[in-house]
Structures are given as C-alpha cells and as structure tokens.
Structure 1
C-alpha cells in the first residue's frame, strides 16, 4: 500500500488517540478543574479600559458585582465560595500586588428592572471601575419579545457606562431548571446587547455547557434544587472570569 493511501488512516488513528487521552484526563479532574480546562483562554470580547487604568496607576481596583442569587451565591455558606469571592482570590493569585475592593450587590430573586432600580444605591455609590452584571435567571417568564428584553438590558448598560465604569454582562447558568425554560430568548437578548454596545460578555451558559460536553454531569454543576449552581460551578465561574479580566487588561 502506498504511503499516501495509508496517511489518512494514520491521521484518523492519531486523532482518536488524542480524543481518548483528553477524555481520560478530563475524568481525572474535578468538575471545577474540567470546567476551567475546557474554557482556557476564554475571551470577554471587549477591552476593559477603566480596569486597565486602575491597575496601571497602582490604585485599588473597585469592582461591583450586581445580579440575583447567582451573585449572592445562594447555598454557599461562606462568601469566599461565591463567584465574587472566588474571583477575588484568583485575581490576587494572578497578581499578588493588586489592590482590590469587591462589593457583592446581589439580591435573591431580583430581575433586570429590579437591578436597574438599585443601581444608584448599590452600584454608583461605590464608584466602581468595573461592574459585573449577572442577569437573566429570573426574567424569562416576562413573556416579552427579544426586542423588549434587549431594550431593558441596553438601558442598564448605558447607565453603567455613563458612570465611567467597564461593564461585563454575565448570562444564565446551565442547569436543568433553566434548560426547561425559554432560555434561548434571554441568551439572544444578552448576547445581542453585548455585541451592539461593545461591552465585555461572560457566556456562563455556554461555558458550563462545554463542561458537560467534556463529560461532567450537569448534576455536578447544579445545586440540589436543579436551578442554582453547585460549588464547583461557582468556583469555575469565578476563576475563569478572573483570568479573562486579566487577559483583557494585558
């Protein structure tokens, strides 16, 4: 047999071995570590100029995380286990000289209009360099079209940017209860605003979905209620976000 005829078979064999090896390695990792591995190099899709300026000037970086229960860190006993808490620890690991102030302005059960109504007291009052706005988990029952949802999100983003703050939009979690809803409508609205307003975007839904595709059970990424994230999912979200922030400013 000629080498040219055998070459495709050799390539196919090598590819199969590589996939098998990757799957084996994934099985050896914890759910959080697998999540981090499959999302290595994730980009926020937009620069963070105010964040970069604060770090360059060696002044405290002020971050406000606003949203609902995913920001509060529902079912996490210690604040260090919430995604803002994990993010804080990971940022310091990446740059021990960094000065960081993080305010967790999450509220269980909150919605996009509820978040916006709290901006003045729970966001602007802290004069942040960076705002991470986690949205979507409690808004898919509105029955509104994408245009209406997008308008509300765009309104909120414009208000945040008017305060000279960088913005990162974070979408929904990938859990059984969310999957049973019309989640795609909310996903499309958030992604559309991020693209049109040219703000940073953490695609949490896709991030966790990729982890499940890598062999991690969705149960391992979900709390007992099937709606909120597990400790592993909070851990991955905080660490991946911290790494993406540092990549954006460098």
Structure 2
C-alpha cells in the first residue's frame, strides 16, 4: 500500500476536529440546540433507494435498532465528562426519537479506527449477528483514500461488505468520507466517492453524501473547515447538523412517497 505522509497528517488534523475517544452510544442523547442555518439541499436528502426493514419497524411501532460502523469521525471531543450524545450518531438518535415517539430508537456505534473497507467488511456479518440491527450505517472510504488503496479493490471490498450485510438481513446506508478543503490537493477522494456511488446504485441502497454536504456548508460559509484549529463548539455544530440531516435522510428513505409529497 502507498502512504501519503503529508496528507495523512492533514487528514488526522481534520479527524481530530470531528473525533475523540469513543464512549457509549447508549448514553441518553440530548439534541444540541439547532443552528440558525445549516440548510441541506433537497437532492442530498432524497433518492430512489429505500429502507424496507426500517419502514416495517416504524409501521409496526417496534424498536428501531441502528448500528453505526465508522471511524474516529463518528465521535467528537466535547470534554472528559461528556457522553457521545453530541456526536452525529447521538444527534441522529435524538432527532429520530422526536420524529418517532411510538418507536424505541436505539443507536450503537462500532468504531473501526484506521481500518480499510476490506478490513471492516470481513467482520460485518459477525457484528450484525451480535447487534441484530434493523439498519447498519457504514461510514467508509477515508482510510482507503489516505492509504491510496487501489480504487477497484476498494469498490470490491465495499461491494462484498454490502452483500454480507444484506445477506445478514439488515438495511444498509453507506456514508462517504468527510470533506476537507485542507486536504483536497493532497488526497484524491473522487475515485472512492465514485465507487461508493456505484456500489450503492448496484445494490439499490441509499448513500448519504457527507462529502457533498460538508462541501456545501464550507463553500456557503456556514462552517470554516479550513482553519487548522477548531473549537469544540464548532465541532458540536457540525455534528448536530450531520445528525439531523441523517435523520431526515433515513425518514425519507423509509417513507419515500410521503417524503415526496411534503
């Protein structure tokens, strides 16, 4: 594997902005007050691919169990005594609880730090067997891009991971890498973004385009993602926005017709 040392350092700085040592996702999430803006283009929250098992769970009024399989950017450093409620999985859980008062919404987070898609994919079936989720949200692509993993090998790994999850009986959402204006010229994210899109289309599963969403916020001036040093408040705002956007994305995929009518 080919490593790009300067790029890895810059990506590590970005990861430090949106990451921290993981703690329990089961801690009761409390939604951060919503920012004034944080708007999301409609096309990033809708699509043709659906979440049938999530829809069935919602309709039945049963528990909605979500497993987030991610990296350090699934967590956030908000202080030694803070739970991960401020990170996007916790914010997503709080938003879904508000939208689904008749359902029990449970979110757990499985951190796969510094692992490529191939390394994560090999253990996905076991994770589903243990956690028994309704939905798996698989965040991937960043480590592969940092290590310059062959894009074709990356696509094969993501494809095999999705097949394993579907065969295990769970709905799947893919989340692509974060956007960072500081690393754009050092890391070529495009092949990995494109291959994730291809896999999602091939398997007719939703892809949450985190990269495009964060780029939109950066270019609109909503968030300054270029500055090397970021405060905890900015990190919490970004995670709050991502979590709420992801909850809208899930609801739209579970109820596509209703979402189109609203």
Same fold (TM over 0.5): yes
Aligned mate of 1:119, from 120, 124, 130: 124
- What is the alpha-carbon distance in structure 1 between the residues aligned to residue 47 and residue 34 of structure 2? 22
In structure 1, runs of 5+ residues without a counterpart are 1-29
* Aligned counterpart in structure 1 of residue 59 of structure 2, from 41, 56, 59: 56
* Aligned equivalent of 1:27: none
Q: Which residue of 2 aligns with 1:190?
A: 196
* 1:57 CA displacement: 1.4
Q: CA deviation at 1:178?
A: 4.1
Instruction: Return the alpha-carbon distance in structure 2 between the equivalents of residues 244 and 136 of structure 1.
Output: 20
Q: Secondary structure at the match of 1:237?
A: helix
Q: Indicate the SS of the match to 2:145.
A: coil
| 2:163 is equivalent to residue 161 of structure 1 | no
Partner of 1:38, secondary structure, is: coil
Which residue of the partner structure matches residue 65 of structure 1?
Answer: 68
**Structure 1 counterpart of 2:242:** 237
Deviation, 1:235, is 1.1
- Aligned in 2, Cα 1:223/1:56: closer, same or farther, shift over 3 Å? farther
* Structure 2 counterpart of 1:137: 142
Q: Provide the residue aligned with 2:77 in structure 1.
A: 75
Looking at secondary structure, tell me which structure has more helix per residue.
1
1:195-249 per-residue CA deviation (whole Å, 9 max, x = no partner) reads 11111110000011111232224338x77379xx922221111100101111222
Kindly indicate whether the alpha-carbon contact (under 8 Å) linking 1:112 and 1:139 is maintained by their aligned counterparts in 2: yes
Structure with max Cα Rg: 1
Contact 1:132-1:169 within 8 A present in 2 as well: yes
* Partner secondary structure for residue 222 of structure 2: coil
2:94 match: 89
Q: Secondary structure at the match of 2:187?
A: coil
1:248 corresponds to = 253
Match of 2:20 in 1: none
Within 2, Cα distance between the matches of 1:66 and 1:219?
24
Task: Report the TM-score, using the length of structure 1 for normalisation.
Answer: 0.78
The alignment's C-alpha RMSD in Å is: 2.5
Which SS does the other structure have where 2:103 is aligned?
coil
Residue 173 to residue 214, structure 1, CA distance change in 2 (3 Å): same
TM-score (norm 2): 0.74
1:205 to 186, 211, 218: 211
Where structure 2 has 5 or more consecutive residues not aligned to the other structure, the ranges are 1-32, 256-262
